[in-house]
Amino acid sequence: MSHSNRTGHSRRTFLQGFSAAACSSLLYGNISRADEPQLRATSPRATSGDEIEPDWKERLTVTVGQDSKAADLVGNSEKVLQAAVDYVSRFGGGTVQILPGTYKLRNAVYLASNIRILGSGAESILIKEPSIKVKLAADSDWYDQEITLEDAQGFQVGDGVCLRTKNPHNGGQTVLKRTLIARSGNRFKIDKALRENFWQVGESTAATLFPIFSGELIKNVVIENITLDGNKANNQLLDGNHAGCVFLQDCNRVVMRKVEARNYHGDGLSWQICHDCIVEDSHSHDNTGLGLHPGSGSQRPIMRRNKLERNDIGIFFCWGVKNGLAEDNIIADNRGSGVSIGHRDTDNLVRKNEILRSGKAGVLFRPERGKGFAGDRNRIEFNRIVDTGAADGIGVDVQGFTDAIQLSSNQIQETREPMQRIGVRLGENTGTVKLAENKIEGFSKAVTDLRKPM
C-alpha cells in the first residue's frame, strides 16, 4: 500500500504545497482548505481575519546586527533580537533578519506567530551564556510572584531562569521557566506567578537555563539558515521536555530549515504537542539529549534531509506521535538508538535514511506499558542500517507488545565481526511484524524471534 493511499489523499502533493508556501514570511496564506478546484482561492485579497491572502512580493523586514550602518537594530544580546521579533509581531508578522555576528544570550528569544527568523548561516551564531545554579533561601508559595536566592551573584534582571523543586506531595520534580524582572538584593520578582509551591524542604533551586528560541501557542513560523550553540560545557542539563536549542509547546505549522543546533546540554530541536511541523536540511549534533524530538501528541511531523550526529538518540518519537515522516536523513554515531519509537506512536513512516553506528540499536521500538501502549502500524522501509552497537548490538529491536509493523526493503548490515550481534530481534510479546525483501548480512543471527508459538 502506498503512503498516499494509506492517508486517504496525496500526502506528497500536500507537502510540496506546504513547503513552497513556507518560503514566504507568512508562509501558509495560499493553501486552500477546499478540495474542489472551483472553490480554491486563486486570486485572494487581504481580508480581515482571513489567513488566505495574496503572495506579497515584499513584506516587513527588520535587520539585527552589530554594525550600525547595516542593521536597523544594533546589539549582540537576546534583547535586540527580542525587540526585532516584538516589532514585526506588532504589525502582524514579518521577517527578522539576523546579520553575521555572535549573539550572547542570557534569556530565550520568545517567538510570535507569523514570524520568519532568517540568519546568515554559519556566520549568525546565537550562543547561550554559562549557567549559574543556586538554592532558594526562602519559601515561595504557589500564589507568589517572587523568589529569594541564597546567593544572587551573577544573576541579573532580565535573565531567564529554570526553577526546580521536589513536589512535597508525590516526590516528583516540578520545573518552571520564568524571567527575572525586578530585584532588591537577593529577592527577585518574576514575570509570572509560580502556581506551584517552591519550598526549601523540596530543595528548590534556580538556574539560568532556557531554550535559545522558545515558542508557545504560536503558528506560522519559520526559523532558517542560522546556528544555535547551547554551550553545553558551561551549562547544566535541562531536558527536552523543557528546553533545547529550539523548544516549542502547543504550536502549529513551524518550519525549521537549515538550522544548525549544536552543543546543547539537552535536546537539539524539541517540539511538544505541535502539529504540521517541518524540520529539513538541518544539522543537530553533539547535544547530550535528542537530535530531533517530535514530542508528545505531535501530529504529522516531517523530518527530511537532516544530519543528526553524536546525540543521545537521533530521532525520538515521544508519546502519541502520529502520521509522521522521517525521510532521507543521515543519522550517525548517536550513543543510544538512531530512531526510537514508543508510546502510541502510530502510523509513521521511516524511510530512505542512513542509520549508521548507533550505540545500541539502529531502530528501537520501546516496550512501553503493555498492549495498546506500544508504537503500532509503523513502516520502516528502504533504510540503510549499518554497524550498530557493541558486541550485542541490534539493527532493529522490536520490544514489548508492538504490533502491525512492516520492515521492508531495508539493508541491515554489520561490517565488523558478527560476535553476538543480531540483525532484527522480535521480542516475546511482539505482535505481527512483516519482514519483506530486507537484506540482512554480517550478523551472528539475521533474525531472532523470541515470540512463543501459537
The predicted model scores a pTM of 0.91
Residue 11 in contact with residue 19, Cβ under 8 Å?
A: no
Chain segment 339-363, per-residue pLDDT in tens = 999 999 999 999 999 999 999 999 9
Pick the closest to residue 409 from 434, 429, 389 (CA basis): 434
Q: Please say if the pLDDT value at position 454 is more than 70.
A: no
147: cell is 523568589
Q: If DSSP codes are grouped into helix, strand and coil, which group holds residue 306?
A: coil
State how far the Cα of 339 lies from the Cα of 291, in Å rounded to an integer: 10
**Which pLDDT value is given to residue 171?**
81
**Which pLDDT value is given to residue 167?**
87
The chain-wide mean pLDDT, for the chain, equals 92
Q: How many CB atoms lie within 10 A of CB 348?
A: 22
**Which pLDDT value is given to residue 38?**
65
What's the rounded mean pLDDT across residues 330-340?
Answer: 98
**Which pLDDT value is given to residue 21?**
39
State how far the Cα of 317 lies from the Cα of 308, in Å rounded to an integer: 14
Q: What pLDDT band is residue 12 in, cutting at 50, 70 and 90?
A: very low
Residue 67 in contact with residue 99, Cβ under 8 Å?
A: yes
Q: Please say if the pLDDT value at position 32 is more than 90.
A: no
Does domain 211-449 match CATH 2.160.20.10?
Answer: yes
Classify residue 77 by its DSSP letter. B
Q: Please say if the pLDDT value at position 29 is more than 80.
A: no
313: cell is 538518540
**Which pLDDT value is given to residue 36?**
65
Given the candidates 2.30.29, 1.10.533, 3.30.70, 2.40.30, the CATH classification of the domain at 133-207 is 2.40.30
**Which pLDDT value is given to residue 40?**
73
Chain segment 195-233, per-residue pLDDT in tens = 999 999 999 999 999 999 999 999 999 999 999 999 999
Chain segment 112-170, per-residue pLDDT in tens = 999 999 999 999 999 999 999 999 999 999 999 999 999 999 999 999 999 999 987 88
What's the rounded mean pLDDT across residues 323-336?
Answer: 98
Query: Residue with C-alpha cell 519509537?
Result: 341
195: cell is 502556581
* Residue 59 half-sphere exposure toward CB, CA atoms < 13 A: 21
Q: What pLDDT band is residue 37 in, cutting at 50, 70 and 90?
A: low
State how far the Cα of 338 lies from the Cα of 226, in Å rounded to an integer: 24
State how far the Cα of 275 lies from the Cα of 271, in Å rounded to an integer: 9
Domain ranges within the chain, ordered by starting residue: 133-207, 211-449
**Going by C-beta distance under 8 Å and a sequence separation of 6 or more, which residues neighbour residue 318?**
272, 293, 294, 295, 296, 298, 342, 343, 345
- The sign of the torsion formed by the CA atoms of 442, 444, 450, 454 equals positive
Pick the more confident residue, 41 or 391.
Answer: 391
- Phi and psi at 122, nearest 5°, equal -70, -10
